[in-house]
Amino acid sequence: MAVLEPRNFLQPCLLLLLREQADHGYELVSRLGPLHDGEGDSGGVYRALRGLERRGLVRSQWSIPKAGPARRTYRLTGEGEAFLDLQAAELRQVDDALHLFLDRYERSTAGPPGADGVPDDGFGRDRAHARPGAGRAAP
C-alpha cells in the first residue's frame, strides 16, 4: 500500500488523464484539479511526468505550433496502461479499507456495541459485519 500513499497519488492521476487524452504539461496541470489537490504545483507535475517517462510509462514528443513556443505532448505507453490498471486495483483495495474504517467509526460514535439492534459478537463487533472465525483462537 505504500505505493499509493497520498504523496504518490499524483502518478495514477496523471496516467488516468493521459489515458483519456494525450496532452501538454500545462493542460494536464489544469485538468488535474478535480482529481488531485496539488495546490497548483506545476513543478511537481513536470517532475512526476519526467519520472513516469524514465520508467517507460509515458513518452513525450516535442511539437512546434505555427504560433507560440514548442510544447511537449505526453502520451501513455502500453506499460503505462498496465501500470494504471494495477494502481486502480490497489486504489479499490484502499477504498474498501477506508469504507470499512469509516463505517466502523460511524458505528462507534453511535453508542455502545449492539445499540443499533445488531447483535454484538462478544469482541465489540457486530455479528452482521464480523468475518467467520474472526476473534477465535487458533486450534
Arithmetic mean of pLDDT, 4-10: 69
Q: pLDDT tens digit string along 68-110?
A: 888 999 999 999 999 999 999 999 998 999 999 999 999 998 7
How far apart are the C-alpha atoms of 9 and 98, rounded to whole Å?
15
| Sequence-distant (≥ 6) Cβ neighbours of residue 81 within 8 angstroms | 19
Asked if 60 contacts 49 with a C-beta cutoff of 8 angstroms, the reply is: yes
User: Domains (ranges, CATH) in the chain?
Assistant: 2-109 (1.10.10.10)
How far apart are the C-alpha atoms of 72 and 59, rounded to whole Å?
10
How far apart are the C-alpha atoms of 23 and 12, rounded to whole Å?
15
Within 13 Å, how many C-alpha atoms sit on residue 68's CB side?
6
Q: Report pLDDT for 41.
A: 77
Q: Report pLDDT for 135.
A: 44
Q: pLDDT tens digit string along 15-30?
A: 999 999 999 998 999 9
